[in-house]
Structure 1
Amino acid sequence: MDKVIVAKDLSLAYSSSDTIINKVNFSIDSGNFVFITGASGSGKSTLLKSLYGALKPKNGSLIVGGVEIRGVSRSRLNFLRRHIGIVFQDYKLVKEWTIDKNIMLPLLINGYVKSVANNQVDKLLKHVRLNHQSGKFPLELSGGEQQRVAMARALAHNPVLILADEPTGNLDEYSSQLIWNLLEGANTQLNTTVIVVTHNIPKTLNVDYKHFHIEYGSIHEVC
C-alpha cells in the first residue's frame, strides 16, 4: 500500500526556542482514516498545519504525497494542495462570496471549465443538503450550515487527502452527524485518505481507523 505521509524524526516549532512536536516518526497509508487526539495545546493543529505546508519542519523529514515539505518550493506546494481538501474549525469561507462561489473555488483552481464547475457545485449542495440555500452568503447561514459548505468545498475537486481540524467542534448534532457521514463516505466510497484532529472520536463511525495520540511533543499509535 502506498504511503501518503511519512514523517521521520519530525520536529515542529513556531520559534527556534519552542519545539511543539519533537522527533516523531509515523506513516499513513493511502485510504487510511486517521484520528489525531491530544490535550488542548498538545500540537494537534500544529501537526495538521505541517501536512499542508502552512508550517515547515524545524528538523527531520515530512513527505506528503511524495513531496518533501521541508524546503518545498511555492509552485510545488501549490501543486500538492490541489490534491488536498481542508476543513477548518472556523470554516474559512469568503464572506463576500456566495456559498456557490466558495465551493467552486478549488474547481476553478484545478482548471475545471465553468459549466462543469457549476454542475459539480449543484451536486455538492444537494449532497450536503443545502441546495435550498444556493445563492446565499455565508453569514446568512447557521454555523452548522457554514461547516457543511466548507465540507462541500473540501470535497469539490475529489482530493486524495482530506485534512479536518475539529470539524464538528461547534456544531449541532444534525450537522455533526452529516459531517461524519460525508467524511466516512469519502473514505469508504472514494478511498480518500482522511485525517481528523478531534477531542472526541465518534462512536457511530462505521469505518476502520487508526488513532494517533499526541502528548508532551511525542506521537504514538493507540491500538
Structure 2
Amino acid sequence: MDKVIIAKNLSLSYSSSETIINQVDFSISSGSFVFITGASGSGKSTLLKSLYGALKPKQGSLIVGGVELKGVSKSKLNFLRRHIGIVFQDYKLVKEWSIEKNIMLPLIINGYVKSIAQNQVENLLKHVRLNHQAGKCPLELSGGEQQRVAMARALAHNPILILADEPTGNLDDYSSQLIWNLLEGANEQLNTTVIVVTHKIPHSLKVDYKHFNIEYGSIREVN
C-alpha cells in the first residue's frame, strides 16, 4: 500500500527555543483512517498544520502526497493543497459568502466547469442536510450547521487526503454523527485518507482505524 505521508526525523517548532514535535518517524498509508490524540498543548494541531504546509519542518523530512514539505516551493505547495480537504475547528468560512459559494470555493480553485461544480454542491448540500439553507450566510447558521458546511467544502473536490482538527468538538449529537458519517463514507467509498485530531475517539465508528498518540514531543502508534 502506498504511503501518503512519510515523516523521518521530523521536528516541529514555532521558535528556536522550544521544540513541539521532536525527531519523530511515522508513516500513514493511502486510504487509512487515522486518529491523533494527546493532551492539550501536546502538539496535535501543530502536527496537522505541518501536513498542509502551514508550518515548515524545523528538522528532518516530511513528505505528503509525494511532496517534500521541507523547503517546498509555493507552486508545489499550492498543487498539494488542491488535493487536500481541511476541516478547521473554527470553520474558517467566508462570512460574506453564501453557504453554496463557500462549498464551491475549492471547485473554483481546481478549475471545475460551472455546471459540474453546481451539481457537486447541490449533492453535498443534500448530504449535510442543508439544501434548504443554500442561500444563507454562515453567521445565519448554528455552529453545528457551519461545521457541516465546512465538511462539505472539504469534500467538494474529492481530495486524496482530509485533515480535520477536532471536527466535532463543540457540536450537538446530530451534527457530530453527520460529520462522522461523511468522514467514514469518504474513507470507505472514495478511499480518501482521513486524519482526525481529537481528544476522544467516538465509539460509534464502524471503520477500521489507526491511532497515534502524542506525548512529550514523541508520536507512538497505539494498538
TM range (shorter): over 0.9
Q: Partner residue of 1:61?
A: 61
Q: Give the corresponding residue for 1:41.
A: 41
SS in 2 for 1:8: strand
Match of 1:189 in 2: 189
Once the two structures are superposed, residues 92-127 of structure 1 have per-residue CA deviations (whole angstroms, 9 ceiling, x without a partner) of 000000010000000010010111111111111001
| Inter-partner Cα distance in structure 1 for 2:124 and 2:207 | 22
Task: Report the counterpart of residue 51 of structure 1 in structure 2.
Answer: 51
Name the counterpart of 1:114.
Answer: 114
* Aligned partner of residue 20 in structure 2, secondary structure: strand
1:126 is aligned to 126
Q: Does 1:75 align with 2:75?
A: yes
Amino acid at match of 1:163: L
Q: Does 1:214 align with 2:210?
A: no
Name stretches of at least 5 consecutive residues in structure 2 with no aligned partner: none
> TM-score of the superposition, structure 2-length normalised?
0.99
Percentage of matched positions with identical amino acids: 86
**Which residue in the other structure is 1:25 paired with?**
25
Corresponding position of 1:178: 178
CA distance in 2, matches of 1:118, 1:182: 20
Between the aligned partners of 1:178 and 1:127, the Cα distance in structure 2 is 9
Counterpart CA distance in 2 for 1:126 and 1:202 is 24
Report deviation, 1:174. 0.3
2: CA distance between counterparts of 1:118 and 1:189? 22
Please say if 1:103 is aligned against 2:103: yes
Between Structure 1 and Structure 2, how many residues are aligned? 223
Aligned partners of 1:201, 1:67: CA distance in 2, in Å?
A: 29
Distance 1:123 1:209 in 2: 27
Q: Distance in 1 between matches of 2:100 and 2:53?
A: 27
Secondary structure at 2:125's aligned position in 1? Answer: helix
Aligned pair 1:158/2:162, yes or no? no
Encode CA deviations 1:49-99: one digit per residue, 9 max, x unaligned: 000000000000000000000000000000000000000010000000001
Please give the alpha-carbon distance, in whole angstroms, between the structure 2 residues aligned to 1:122 and 1:188: 22
| Rounded Cα–Cα distance in structure 1 between residues aligned with 2:168 and 2:61 | 30
Please report the TM-score for the alignment, with normalisation by the length of structure 1: 0.99
Give 1:210 shift. 0.3
1:12 and 1:182 map into 2 onto residues whose CA distance is 30
Q: CA RMSD in A?
A: 0.4
CA distance, structure 2, for counterparts of residue 11 and residue 17 of structure 1:
13
Shift of 1:195: 0.1
Following TM superposition, by how much is the alpha carbon of 1:191 offset from its aligned partner in structure 2, in angstroms? 0.5
What amino acid is aligned across from residue 126 of structure 1 in structure 2? K
Cα shift at 1:45: 0.1
Q: What SS class does the counterpart of residue 184 from structure 2 fall into?
A: helix
Report the Cα distance in structure 2 between the residues aligned to 1:20 and 1:174, rounded to whole angstroms: 35
